[in-house]
Amino acid sequence: MSNSIRLGVIGGGQLGSLLCVAAKKLNIETVILSDDKDGPAQKFCDHFIYSKYENNEKIREFISKVDIVTYEFENIPIDFLNLIEKEKKVLPNPKINKIAQNRKLEKTFVNELGINTTDWTYIKTAEDIKKNQHLLPGLLKSNTLGYDGKGQFVLNSLDDVKQDWCFTSDYILEKKVNLKKEISVIITRYSDGTMLYYEPIENIHKNQILHKSKIPADISEKIFKDAIDSAKKIAANLSYIGVLTVEYFITANGKLLVNELAPRFHNSGHLTIEAFNISQFENHVRAICNLNSMQIKKISNAEMRNVLGFEIQKYKKRNLKKNEFFYDYQKKEPRDGRKMGHLTVLKD
């Protein structure tokens, strides 16, 4: 195993932090580039560079300090990733990023593979919504830059389309699904084509933010198999390298739909740190740094709870039981709805 790889990570939040911890275990040096001066990953990485995404001295420094670049979130300007790619390898490939940060391109890509999503259409004007009333009740989602339910509006009927709305950006309109359940599949693909996946994880959202994740997911064998097969198909088709997360809806009548793709490790995969021999973060580092792959072995069932906002104060004082593992992301300020930490509980 090479121990001389310097891994650049764009983004300094909790996902970046947890990636740095996994890299350290593999003797890989990490350099974080964060546009947030207070990014908590500075406490976990070897070098921390604070800079906006522009071609400047700090970016030159980042590029010169690393061998490979990855990222903790997908909403990074593509031009910026392309700029880096001219000099250093960026994995997962920015082409994938372009798809995953644009709901229209993402759903088109998934549908063209013969995989179902919700019914949807592309929206530029209020008139487009009128023409697509069959999708109401629905969710109008900003085509780019949404996360944790941000940039989404529920449209029960045309009355909800406000007169004063100006459509300055583009949207998609998605039919509202009667959800039975949500699951995610986290799959790792190595450059030799090896694919390793965790069993589907069941996700419970509150106010469109992930609240809890657990394994085993309470799903049929058929849904289990179909979810893994679709994730494999997507990863193979993209010649993907690294960890990919596929979020799914299971409808009240039992249909499996892809909700969205995240070209990265995922909040729902935090339980992999304790519940499996190799975490999603370690798998990502291994795959992008071209290290050996290792079979995934499950250690335990588990449940992960997100700690949001001011809840963190209570959790910091908690006496942990022997099956409980707590992560304080060490963010400077709690804010309502902000992900501040998580607790994983191992179960029989």
Task: Give the single-character DSSP code of 149.
Answer: T
Of the residues 29, 72, 74, 174, which one makes contact with ligand ADP according to CB under 6 A = 174
Instruction: List, in sequence order, every residue forming a beta bridge with 211; answer none if it has no partner.
Output: none
- Give the shortest CB-137-to-ligand ADP separation in angstroms: 9
Enumerate residues 6+ apart whose C-beta is below 8 A from 338.
308, 309, 331
Distance (Å, whole) CA 67 – CA 297 = 30
Residue 29, interface with ligand ADP (CB under 6 A)?
no
Residue 176, interface with ligand ADP (CB under 6 A)?
yes
For residue 10, give the nearest of 149, 66, 174 by alpha carbon: 66
- Give the shortest CB-7-to-ligand ADP separation in angstroms: 26
Euclidean distance between the first and final Cα of the chain, in Å?
35
- Give the shortest CB-172-to-ligand ADP separation in angstroms: 10
Tell me, residue by residue from 131 to 160, as one string, x for binding to ligand ADP by CB under 6 A and - for no binding. --------x------xxxx-----------
With respect to ligand ADP, which residue has the nearer C-beta, 309 or 337?
337
Q: Identify the helix (H) or strand (E) that includes residue 345.
A: strand 339-347
Q: Are 156 and 170 in contact (CB under 8 A)?
A: no
Tell me, residue by residue from 250 to 279, as one string, x for binding to ligand ADP by CB under 6 A and - for no binding. ---------xx-------------------
Task: Give the single-character DSSP code of 177.
Answer: P
With respect to ligand ADP, which residue has the nearer C-beta, 9 or 172?
172
- Give the shortest CB-179-to-ligand ADP separation in angstroms: 5
Of the residues 118, 267, 280, 306, which one makes contact with ligand ADP according to CB under 6 A = 118
Both tokens assigned to 229: 């097969």
- Give the shortest CB-118-to-ligand ADP separation in angstroms: 5
Residue nearest to ligand ADP (CB): 177
Residue 200, interface with ligand ADP (CB under 6 A)?
no
Q: Are 205 and 248 in contact (CB under 8 A)?
A: no
Q: Are 183 and 200 in contact (CB under 8 A)?
A: yes
Q: Are 342 and 305 in contact (CB under 8 A)?
A: yes
- Give the shortest CB-147-to-ligand ADP separation in angstroms: 5
Kind of pairing between the strands at 152-155 and 195-197:
unpaired
Of the residues 64, 208, 237, 313, which one makes contact with ligand ADP according to CB under 6 A = 208
Tell me the three state secondary structure of residue 234. helix
With respect to ligand ADP, which residue has the nearer C-beta, 42 or 267?
267
Number of H-type helices and E-type strands within the chain: 10, 18
Enumerate residues 6+ apart whose C-beta is below 8 A from 10.
33, 34, 69, 70, 71, 72, 76
Q: How far is CA 332 from the centre of its chain?
A: 22
With respect to ligand ADP, which residue has the nearer C-beta, 178 or 292?
178
Q: How many residues bind ligand ADP (CB under 6 A)?
A: 16
With respect to ligand ADP, which residue has the nearer C-beta, 185 or 278?
185
Where does this chain bind ligand ADP (CB under 6 A)?
118, 139, 146-149, 174, 176-177, 179, 182, 205, 208, 247, 259-260
